[in-house]
Amino acid sequence: MLELRLVHGSLLKKVLEAIKDLVNDANFDCSATGFSLQAMDSSHVALVALLLRSEGFEHYRCDRNISMGMNLGNMSKMLKCAGNDDIITIKADDGSDTVTFMFESPTQDKISDFEMKLMDIDSEHLGIPEAEYHAIVRMPSAEFARICKDLASIGDTVVISVTKEGVKFSTRGDIGTANIVLRQNTTVDKPEEATIIEMNEPVSLTFALRYMNSFTKATPLSNTVTISLSSELPVVVEYKIAEMGYVRFYLAPKIEEDEDETKPQV
């Protein structure tokens, strides 16, 4: 028996909007500690990890660990039917091949039950070890989304370069080049507008803008985004979910040869 009651139901709606374009089908894993998901995107390039800790739910009952395979597009269709102020409860009976999403309006005058068929999905859970990063940038999530969108109008890839002074986002395309520099800035009025850089050594890495722009679908979940960079590891783009957990996106850097593929070979 599973019963997870989330007072801020809009949060679950935002989670689905954040990941449904990247991942078609995935297993949601439910245990005593929380409701989580780990999945590769459909082209097996990026990895998504979601965690909603049990403490964040008003009521959390999960009698035994279960894994529920869901089509995220269908799940999103159902969650879109929840009002933004609705309480959402996820319910499943042991051994059932369906999950039920219950939406309660704040006044309790409207109660909706949406029942969705579960799927069998093969998946292996990757252990993601804690790692040291060369540089960690925390910045306003809306600014990061704007930069990725702007650069995608010029080129296909973004070079992210971090120094102590700031972080530079660069691209190059048929019509020209673009460089956007954000200065470290910790003295703003609102903490969520700060750009904060923690750096052990300078780093400059290249990523596909297409994936970065997919990740920014998570922007409504958090005012800030944290980008962890290391030359030997996939970048981690993390959106914290207040008092509950996070959505993290992992993407391997493009290697240098890719960048220079238009140059003549020697």
Q: Which residues bind its own copies (CB under 8 A)?
A: 71, 74, 77-78, 80-81, 98, 107-117, 143, 150-151, 153-154, 175-183, 185, 188, 195
74 vs 206 by CB, closer to its own copies = 74
Strand 46-53, strand 59-62: pairing: unpaired
Name the amino acid, one letter, at 122: D
CB of 195 to its own copies, least distance (A): 7
Nearer to its own copies, 64 or 164 (CB): 164
Show Cβ contacts of residue 8 under 8 Å, excluding neighbours closer than 6 positions.
none
Q: How far is the CB of 63 from its own copies (least distance, A)?
A: 23
CB of 9 to its own copies, least distance (A): 14
Nearer to its own copies, 128 or 154 (CB): 154
Shorter beta-carbon distance to its own copies: residue 113 or 201: 113
Concatenate the DSSP letters of all residues of 209-228 into one string.
HHHHHHHGGGGGG-SEEEEE
Q: What is the nearest approach in angstroms of its own copies to the Cβ of residue 180?
A: 4
Gap between the Cα atoms of 78 and 16, Å rounded:
10
> Nearest distance from residue 232's CB to its own copies, in Å?
29
Among residues 51 and 92, whose Cβ is nearest to its own copies? 92
- Given a contact cutoff of 8 angstroms between Cβ atoms, the answer to whether 150 and 171 are in contact is no
Cβ closest to its own copies, residue 49 vs residue 167: 167
How many Å is the maximal CA-CA distance in the chain? 73
CB of 178 to its own copies, least distance (A): 5
For residue 198, the minimal CB distance to its own copies (Å) is 18
Q: Residue 128 region, left (φ>0) first, then alpha (ψ -120 to 50), else beta?
A: beta
Which residues have a Cβ under 8 Å from the Cβ of 4 and sit 6 or more positions away? 30, 35, 57, 59, 60, 61, 62, 89, 90, 91
Closest to 216 (Cα-Cα) out of 22, 8, 3, 10: 22
Nearer to its own copies, 54 or 224 (CB): 224
Residue 16 has, within 13 A of its CA and on its CB side, a CA count of 19
Q: How far is CA 244 from the centre of its chain?
A: 14
**CB distance 39 to 32 below 8 Å:** no
